Structure 1
Amino acid sequence: MTENANSKELVPVEKAEDNSKATENANLPVTVEEGAAKAAKDQVVAIEENNNKINNMSAAEKPGQGKHLAGLSTVLTFILSLPILASVVWLFYMRNYECESLLRLPKLQFGIGIGLIAIFVISNGFVFLRARFPMPGLLVVMVPLLVMLTMGLALVGAYKMESRSIVGSPMWLKSKIYDDDIWNDIETCLYDNGACRDLVFRSLTVKSYSFPSTKLSYLEHGCCRPPTTCGMVYVNATYWEKRRRTVDGSYPYDADCDLWENDPNVMCYNCNSCKRGFYLTLKSKWWKLGIFLFFMALLLIVSHLLLFFATMLERFHF
């Protein structure tokens, strides 16, 4: 009786074990399917991450190109600013022309030198601070460059009649030099400084036939010899033999022929040709400075605009 009871009790246990195994076997295919799905999902995620890395690498290349362009523009702008520094040294240490101080041009020369120093500092300040303040920096640097451009045009004489009031412009120089009161002071200054002294020493050994080929400055040609239209014969630097000739109004220097004196103290200092020689001397100097200011300002404006656009490309990853 006892054995039968035990056998009856064991049957449900065995059945329970079989049922659990069946349940496990039933759950086993589901687990494999989930694993396969998970593996496929992981593969998709890996592919997406790989694509993201590729996209990130492509995006990283763009700012690298912008940075490269910005670097080239920075170097170009800095190199273009170096001639400005050299011109400042030239303005501060170059010798002023004789009697130029009577027109107060050395003060203008000094002022332009100070202005160029300011432009050099502002220009390179924008170069090194462009990443922080691109737009304000561009506006700040453009103002002095436009002033520099305008000053260059004025010294060249691009404004014609308007330049009469601009110190150093051709019209301003002519109005001052051809003013009789101012010219009297200039004439005295030229004589006191011996404007023709160097020509006298250079021509001591020059023969009459070779003097016409002697290279003369504007001032020497206008103040230290009679005008060519007078037809005088060269004897030495301070003596020219006059020939009888009829006055012809078609020659612009006829009046100067009567003003010439074979006297080292007089010569042609009071001639219109001397005024013209002094005018051309100063005009040549300030015209060259105007050309320099104009082209340097133009080049720096272009280079700063390129630097600004390169900075924007670098910032927005274009």
Structure 2
Amino acid sequence: MGVSNNIVAVVNFISLLCSIPIIAAGIWLASKQDNACVHLFRWPVIILGVLLLLVSLSGFVGAVWDRPCLLATHLFAMAALVLLLITLLVFAFVVTRPDGSRAVPGRAFSEYRIEGYSGWLKDYILDHWPQIRACLSTDDVCGKLARRDAFFTADQFFQSDLSPLQSGCCKPPTLCGYNYVNPTLWINPTNAMADTDCYLWNNDQSQLCYGCNSCKAGLLGSLRHEWRKANIALIVATVALIWVYIIGCSAFKNAQTEELFRRYKHGWA
């Protein structure tokens, strides 16, 4: 195996390693409760990472056993997968860029407004909300919060760090003026309601605010937060793969030149 083929083998081994954080990011996203309920976002990253791993492995095998046709096919496939990864990154960045969270005076947690998120993502959630709502209720998002024993007073609850789902689905919005009893039990105020979500709140533990816009916004906030974190790993892996691909193409070209020179030399001899 020539020097250039050795370089190709090393480069493909590095690209194989680059697929690992992509797969890990996909598994992390799929394991999250909200992503488990929004099926559209569960598997694309994992599938893309696995395909990159298999293509990198094929390139490594082609370089070690000196199979030019396999290497050429690998380079075309790798280019397509890198373009798909870049497309996924751009799409994820665009749809998660708007942020519907807002700080609430006197509260450690944020609250969420559905109007603050991208139209595409918002429309998808609204179109599939009955199934998503049933999934969230089954997964006992708010039941876990209610069973926590850290909240003895309203002040302790208000200073707690709630997740977007807990903030949007498990309590009424702060502007409704409900009085705290426990994390998922609130007393209806006597003042006029300021938002339609205030009328939708129900102390029934199977209802709570699962029908509220704040719950839909909380889900969007959770998805946005997780995808923005996953994007960091995906961006690093993508940059590394682009550099590896460029080096691999150069090494493959040199390997082909070496082979032509070797054949010419032997033929001349």
Same fold, TM exceeding 0.5?
Answer: yes
What TM-score comes out, normalization by structure 2 length? 0.68
User: Hey, which of these two has a bigger chunk of helix by percent?
Assistant: 1
Match of 2:123 among 172, 175, 180: 175
Q: How is 1:13-162 mapped onto 2 (pairs within 5 angstroms)?
A: 67=3, 75=10, 78-88=13-23, 91=26, 95-97=31-33, 100-101=36-37, 103-105=38-40, 109-110=42-43, 112-130=45-63, 133=68, 137-157=74-94
TM-score, with structure 1 as normaliser: 0.59
| Structure 1 residue 91 displacement after superposition | 4.0
Larger radius of gyration: 1
Aligned partner of 2:250 in structure 1 is: 309
Percent of residue pairs identical: 28
Cα distance, 1:233–1:159 mapped onto 2, change above 3 Å: closer
Distance 1:154 1:293 in 2: 13
Aligned residue pairs, count: 233
Q: Distance in 1 between matches of 2:221 and 2:39?
A: 17
Structure 1 gap segments, 5+ residues each = 1-63, 161-169, 249-253
Compute the RMSD of aligned alpha carbons.
Answer: 3.7
Q: For structure 2, which runs of at least 5 residues remain unmatched after alignment?
A: 98-117, 259-269
Of 187, 190, 212 in structure 2, the residue corresponding to residue 271 of structure 1 is: 212
Amino acid at match of 1:256: D
> Structure 1 residues 96 and 204, CA, compared in 2 at 3 Å: closer, same or farther?
closer
CA distance in 1 between partners of 2:39 and 2:90 (Å): 20
**1:302: how far off?**
1.7
Distance 1:316 1:219, change over 3 A: same
Q: Secondary structure at the match of 2:186?
A: strand
Deviation at 1:192, TM superposition (A): 3.2
Tell me the SS of whatever aligns to 2:180: strand
Q: In the alignment, residue 231 of structure 1 is paired with which amino acid?
A: G
2:177 is aligned with 1:231: yes
Cα deviations across residues 148-172 of structure 1 (Å, max 9, x unaligned)? 2212222332699xxxxxxxxx654
Distance 1:192 1:117 in 2: 30
Deviations 1:178-229 (A, max 9, x none): 23xx323333333333221111111465222211111211111001111122
Cα distance in structure 2, aligned partners of 1:187 and 1:244: 29
Paired residue type of 2:86 = L
8 A Cα contact 1:223 1:277, kept in partner? yes
Tell me if the contact between 2:9 and 2:59 (Cα under 8 Å) persists in the aligned partners. Answer: no
Secondary structure at the aligned position of 1:178 is classed as: helix
Residue 192, structure 1, aligned to residue 129, structure 2: no
Deviation at 1:273, TM superposition (A): 0.4
| Residue type of the alignment partner of 1:97 | Q
2:166 equivalent among 192, 215, 220: 220
- Kept in 2, the 8 Å contact 1:149–1:293? The answer is no
In 2: Cα distance, 1:87 partner to 1:301 partner: 14
Match of 1:234, SS?
Answer: strand
Instruction: Encode CA deviations 1:257-293: one digit per residue, 9 max, x unaligned.
Output: 2322333233212111011112222343445445544
